[in-house]
Amino acid sequence: MVYFWGMNNIHFLLQGFTAAALALLAAGCGPKQTYFVVEPSSLNHTFVTYAANTNHMVIMEFLGTGYSVMRKGDTPGALNPYALQPHATREIRREFTPEMVNAIFQSLVREGVYDKEPKDKRPFEPPYVSMRGSIQNKRFERVSRTPEFLLMASWMADLFEKPEQHGLQLRRSE
């Protein structure tokens, strides 16, 4: 078979690109996998700010040990720890089982907290959810207005208010 000079070069170029792509994938430089199984760890933590409307905000903190805090208020000043006169602040502390908190972390990963979302022009207009934290030493920070994350934040806040309705076993309630 007769090869032309150009065909032979294209063949070697394709082989080189294939080898380079395989080498990058083997080195871990390939597309990032955003879904993973969350292992229980006391180092996992998540902070969630949920603004349902302009007059009501909720801040939740979940630690891998099970310790969790929810602060809710009717004004943004109520959620500011440095405010001189906080207005209508309510704080609920719960100690969930580490398995329950791990399930919350897993649901965040499953819903795509590590996925890239298109930039919103005005993300801080309610309703919105702001999340940041670290799960298995993988840091994330996300502001979202998607219905999935808004529903999840509402569900998380409901866990503090009515844990018995969700069949949760609390280790200790304060």
Per-residue pLDDT of the chain (174 residues), as tens digits, is 455 544 555 554 445 545 444 444 454 444 445 678 999 999 999 999 898 887 778 889 999 999 999 888 876 565 565 666 555 577 889 898 899 999 999 999 998 888 876 666 556 678 889 899 999 999 999 888 888 899 999 989 888 887 777 666 555 544
Write the DSSP symbol of residue 163.
Answer: G
CATH code of domain 45-173: 3.30.1560
Residue 173 confidence (pLDDT): 45
Are 75 and 169 in contact by the 8 Å Cβ rule? The answer is no
Residue 82 confidence (pLDDT): 65
Residue 65 confidence (pLDDT): 93
Burial of 144 (0-12, 13-18, 19+ CB in 10 A): buried
Count Cβ neighbours within 10 Å for each residue of 33-50 and write b for 16 or more, e otherwise: eeeeebeebeebbbebbb
pTM: 0.70
Residue 81 confidence (pLDDT): 57
- Write down the domain spans for the chain: 1-30, 45-173
Residue 30 confidence (pLDDT): 44
Pairing of strands 45-53, 128-135: antiparallel
